[in-house]
Structure 1
Amino acid sequence: MKTYKLIFAVLLILTAKNSVAQVANNSNLFIELKKADSLIFNEGFNKCNYSALKKVLHRDLEFFHDQNGTQNLEQFYKSFSNSICSNPNFKPIRRLVDETQKVFPLKNNGEIYGAIQTGEHIFYIKEPNKKLYATERGKFTHTWVLESGQWKVKRILSYEHKPPTKDYGVKFNADYAYKLFDNDKEIEKLLERHKIPSIAIGLIKNGKIQQIRTFGNKTAKQPISNNSIYKVASLTKPITAFVVLKLIDEGKWNLDEPVSKYFIDKDIKNSKYLDKLTTRHILSHQSGFPNWRYLTDSKKLHFQFEPGTKWQYSGEGLEYLRKAIEKKFKRPFEDIAKEKLFNPLGMNNTHFYWTNEIDENQYAVEHNENGKPIHYEKYSVANASANLLTTVEDYSKFLEYILNGADLSKKTYNEFLKVQANEKDGIDWSLGMQMLSDLPNNETAFMHTGGDYGTKTIALLLNNSKQGLVLFSNSENGMVLWQKIISEYFGAVGEEIVRRNLE
């Protein structure tokens, strides 16, 4: 991606420097490149005409895409064979937005040796017995070189993809996002394209669960279902946070009391910061701890900075808090979670670790980037930061609960709604969840992701409009699909959420 950004920057500079040299739309150069572009897309991409492609693709072609990585000439051809042209019943179609095309000549000693072409294009899907429907718009920058009188494209950049918002010859269905929830075949084809075994989707609208949908398989030929259990990795953390907030609301725990009052890890018993660490610091990732001690050189827990002075993501912090709570109440944390959350909400298929209550046949086995199942470990102890086992329906119940105040007092709930720490520009943290403010439509989002090798999950809440989304995937490639769903379902708000998290 660094190479992509560098080339993109250079092309922008070249474009800017040559802006006064932009050729007219009726010039020979403009018309020639429009014809050459047509060979790539109207003939090659849209009609799968490989002979047309070969006429215009340079032998040293480099293709850069903001979602699908980079490709050379061989990989570019392979992509056409395996995805673009592999299924005539689900065919992507590209159309140039004519009025956006610009051409800038590149000269050496007054002679044109190449050109930069920029513009926008719209992508559609063509299916039998259906009207063509738009799925995505994006921008492109092509670098052309003139070799023996023949125009060859040497660099292709395709970027800033987002759902279309205008009518460019074929009407865009404004409800296309809902197709992701209503049309099983479209989801299944996306899963197949990206080698993703399954995705489970929970949709919340107006503060209520509206849909629970599942697509694909737990393992080969074993369909996923509403009762399928996923390991959701760091989506454990919001669960832990709200168990703690319930204790705080009941007056049984203090948000700003030193945690050392109840527990001291032997690794930090002599630290000068020991008595400064509070629950607020931990839930907002300001504990000063590393993510995990085993990732440090010493393999021991230590403060990397004074608690409360800056943000740093830490799984150790939540685990430290779990041990302190268990020591005070003399009860396993998972028992407290059942009492405060799981039982009241009917989250009957949610567990911190493997127990006899779990039907292993319902487990959504993790898969690698090639769609192959990988070995999974059956954890036997609770971890406040990771390894939660749950269903999309159970976790959707949890999000619905949060959206509706979580049965907390106004004072405690407002602590959750407040910015507690800043991760980076545009992304803050509340107590237990990432917080994105100043979104389009005056929206505020609360979200958390979970990702271990072979599993990718996300929980997202839009506080003002009372909407929510849960996406579980038992695939290393899962992020590709849920980023697309968020952008398409939540429109401009979703696009901004994805953008901030990708920067």
Structure 2
Amino acid sequence: MSDVLSYNHGEPNKTKITDDLEQLLKDNNIPTLGLGVIEDGKLTQIKVYGKLNDKTSASYNSLFNVASLTKPVTAMTVLRLVSLGKWNLDEPLYKYFTDPDIAKDSRHKKLTTRMILSHQTGFPNWRWMHNDNKLNFEFEPGTKYQYSGEGFEYLRKAIEKKFNKTLEELAKEYVFQPLGMNDTSYIWNAKKQADRIVIGYDKNGKPYDIVKNKTASAADDLMTSVEDYSQFLIAVMKNELLSPDVFETMKTKQVKSKENKYFGLGFEIYDLGNDEIALSHGGADKGVNTFAIILPKTKQGLVIFTNVDDGYKIYESIMNQYLGEKGKRIVEIETK
């Protein structure tokens, strides 16, 4: 283990859990793990195991590219604007932005923020997945679920037009600064990040290049620490950012994605039965596998960052260990 900062409140078998995690990483060839544990609405543990790169051990405040865990942060930035009366969930986005690829398709006039945050745009995940590299509708907006990074990028362009600020500036103003997320950014900053960034690997141990975005992606490549992202989840759980009605809408099932699983606004919703839900999101890119989950009723949560293509292999063990029966239920829904 490299650097483990634990705020342990009388946790039983502390050594055993640490040993178990070390073994789990070894057995599954996971180079680096960042783990945040939330109990009773507080961040009780930050653990970072492994290396930054082939030379340096990772410290508790190491920075990870978290892939699609970017989306909940973008969603909360936009929902904060909605809460403050500066933006409307159901106003058509063409008033601010229309992508030239779909300008002649009248369906673009139906697109709203609600559809984007619940993945009902009709867009593919990414336009480059099509031969012509053009954005297109695969079905009528608002009629069903289909996960789309393009939707989030569409929303970014609309809010940047309306506010004449970048997403990075808006997120700083409305989320990062209010929550003290000083280690979080959409944009690469060599001075701040080069010495702390965790390198990603493929499953054969070959390193990937670090993603160094010059402009923000609303959907991908956020750089953050375990502590910052855990504090973000706690703020979501305690509703420190939104008005009460927008908060309720955010965690209301907008569209079904599979059995007992839905999308709200920016978060997936697991229906655990007995009037209990879990809000979660995952991320996967080359050399990145990440997962975040909160249980609003019991005020528990987990942040799991890994830096390898198949890092998801350890999620189930960690969920079972820290979330018990509820962890098992979530895994059950996920693997059905």
Aligned-partner Cα distance in 2 for 1:487–1:178: 16
TM-score relative to the length of structure 1: 0.63
Asked if the contact 1:292–1:316 (Cα under 8 Å) also holds between the matched residues in 2, the reply is yes
Q: Paired residue for 2:81, among 228, 247, 250?
A: 247
Deviations 1:157-183 (A, max 9, x none): xxxxxxxxxxxxxxxxxxxx9657864
Q: CA deviation at 1:214?
A: 1.2
The secondary structure found in structure 2 opposite 1:358 is helix
Please state how far the C-alpha of 1:373 moved relative to its aligned partner: 2.4
- Does 1:467 pair with 2:300? yes
- SS of residue in 1 equivalent to 2:214: coil
Q: Indicate which of 106, 126, 130 corresponds to 1:272.
A: 106
Higher strand share: 1
| Contact in 2 for aligned 1:195/1:477 (Cα 8 Å) | no
Aligned to 1:204: 38
1:492 partnered with 2:332: no
Q: Distance in 2 between matches of 1:415 and 1:178?
A: 38
Distance 1:178 1:258 in 2: 53
Who is 1:378 aligned against? 212
Per-residue CA distance 1:234-269 (angstroms, 9 max, x = gap): 000000000000000011100000001100111111
Aligned residue for 2:261? 427
CA distance, structure 2, for counterparts of residue 485 and residue 241 of structure 1: 26
Determine the C-alpha separation between the residues in 2 that align with 1:374 and 1:246. Answer: 35
Q: CA deviation at 1:473?
A: 0.7
CA contact (8 A) 2:272 2:278 kept: no
Shift of 1:355: 1.4
Equivalent residues in 2 for 1:7-406, closer than 5 Å:
179=13, 183-406=17-240
Q: Which has the higher contact order (CA 8 A, sep 6+)?
A: 2
Structure showing greater Rg:
1
Q: Which amino acid aligns with 2:160?
A: E
Distance 1:183 1:496, change over 3 A: closer
Where does the alignment leave 5 or more consecutive residues of structure 2 unmatched? 1-10
**Equivalent pairs: percent with the same residue?**
44
1:148-201 CA deviation, whole Å, 9 max, x = no partner? xxxxxxxxxxxxxxxxxxxxxxxxxxxxx9657864333222212211111111
Q: What does the per-residue CA deviation read over 1:47-66, in whole Å, with 9 as the maximum and x for residues that have no partner?
A: xxxxxxxxxxxxxxxxxxxx
TM-score, scaled to structure 2: 0.93
Name the CA distance, whole Å, in 2 between partners of 1:182 and 1:198: 19
4+ residue runs of structure 1 moved beyond 4 angstroms? 177-183
SS in structure 1 opposite 2:303? strand
Give yes or no for contact 1:181–1:213 (8 Å, CA) kept in 2: no
Counterpart of 2:310? 477
Unaligned runs of 5+ in 1: 1-176
3-state SS in 2 of match to 1:499? helix
Amino acid at match of 1:433: F
Distance 1:270 1:431 in 2: 28
Contact residue 123 and residue 148 of structure 2 kept, 8 A: yes
Q: What is the deviation of 1:357?
A: 4.2
* Alpha carbons 1:202, 1:209 under 8 Å: kept: yes
Distance 2:15 2:295 in 1: 18
**CA-atom RMSD in angstroms:** 1.6
Deviations 1:350-409 (A, max 9, x none): 110201442312111001113342333322111000010000110001000000013321
Instruction: Determine the structure 1 residue equivalent to 2:5.
Output: none
